[in-house]
Amino acid sequence: MSFFHRHPRLRLAALLSAPMLWLVVAYLGALAVLLVSAFWTVNGFTGEVVREFSLQNFRTIVTEEVYRNVTLRSLGVAVAVTVICVLLALPMAVYMAKVASPRARHWLVIAILTPLWASYLVKAYAWRVLLANGGPLDTLVGTPGYGLFAVVIVLSYLWLPYMILPIYAGLERLPDSLLEASADLGARSGRTFRGIVLPILVPSIFAGSIFTFSLSLGDYITVQIVGGKTQLIGNLVYANVGAANNLPFAAAIATVPVLIMVVYLTAVRRSGALEEL
């Protein structure tokens, strides 16, 4: 112990070696292998992986209409889910942070946090029951049934707290005096909201959108549960790993959401969204 104490560099090495061995060698190594295998192909005859560089997988993804459609559909779903979450989360967070009494605020935060601990699968399952033919929603108002619409609703439901919390945190830091100053200068609440609250909240909203966007892009379980015949990128990856047994092609498709996320992250980074996570 005292030997380590006198040699801080050794101490650092001792602290970092095990975690880095795990994350760099095991995890990054695995990711690198996956990325490389995206350039391999599978021999259609024998099912063996051909370990030679080829762009064929990517050519297929870009040229064939199915893959373009699925990519666009997944993007559309991610955007729709993000927009729905923002529209719902904004008024809820404003109420929590600026209107509710401190005591009510405490309980509201707990009420938003608690469902995060409930199982993802259980929540998706709840919607499967809710949306079923002859289920509660059907008896009351009629159900849209399983499909793309249901996927958007359920994903919005699942990720809503991830949007509320950063916006709420952003609002909590916004001093009331700023809002009072705006009111004193004659701005109505609508104008205060557009001119002061919204611009300050932009990084928080982006931070929330990173969750809603990335989680929606990678999902395939909810799609299987309430999506009917709908397919998103995740389903294609899953089908190619499992049924089709074409890991190289699955890896190639999997790079699509990763690429989209990298582009998205670099785009929102300037707003300071990453510090809000």
Residues 17-46 that bind other proteins (CB under 8 A): 18-20, 22-24, 26-31, 33-34, 37
The dihedral of CA 155, 161, 164, 170: what is its sign? Answer: negative
- Under the binding rule (CB under 8 A), the answer on residue 96 touching other proteins is yes
- Under the binding rule (CB under 8 A), the answer on residue 88 touching other proteins is yes
Closest separation in Å from C-beta 101 to other proteins: 12
Site for other proteins in 120-149 (CB under 8 A): 120-123, 125-130, 132, 134-136, 138-139
- Under the binding rule (CB under 8 A), the answer on residue 83 touching other proteins is no
Site for other proteins in 156-185 (CB under 8 A): 157, 160-161, 165, 169, 176, 179-180, 183
Site for other proteins in 201-220 (CB under 8 A): 214-215, 217-220
Burial class (CB in 10 A: 0-12, 13-18, 19+), 18: exposed
**Residue among 148 and 225 whose Cβ is closer to other proteins:** 225
Site for other proteins in 99-118 (CB under 8 A): 99-100, 106, 108-118
**Residue among 71 and 214 whose Cβ is closer to other proteins:** 214
**Residue among 63 and 143 whose Cβ is closer to other proteins:** 143
- Under the binding rule (CB under 8 A), the answer on residue 267 touching other proteins is no
- Pattern 40-79, other proteins, x by CB under 8 A: ----------------------------------------
- Under the binding rule (CB under 8 A), the answer on residue 250 touching other proteins is yes
Beta bridge partner(s), residue 49: 42
- Under the binding rule (CB under 8 A), the answer on residue 263 touching other proteins is no
- Under the binding rule (CB under 8 A), the answer on residue 261 touching other proteins is yes
**Residue among 61 and 217 whose Cβ is closer to other proteins:** 217
- Under the binding rule (CB under 8 A), the answer on residue 119 touching other proteins is yes
Side chain identity, residue 120: Y
**Residue among 12 and 55 whose Cβ is closer to other proteins:** 12
Per residue, what are the HEC states of the chain? CHHHHHCHHHHHHHHHHHHHHHHHHHHHHHHHHHHHHCCCEECCCCCCEECCCCCHHHHHHHHCHHHHHHHHHHHHHHHHHHHHHHHHHHHHHHHHHHHCCHHHHHHHHHHHHHHHHCCHHHHHHHHHHHHCCCCHHHHHCCCCCCCHHHHHHHHHHHHHHHHHHHHHHHHHHCCHHHHHHHHHCCCCHHHHHHHHHHHHHHHHHHHHHHHHHHHHHHCCHHHHHHCCCCCCHHHHHHHHHCCCCCHHHHHHHHHHHHHHHHHHHHHHHCCCHHHHC
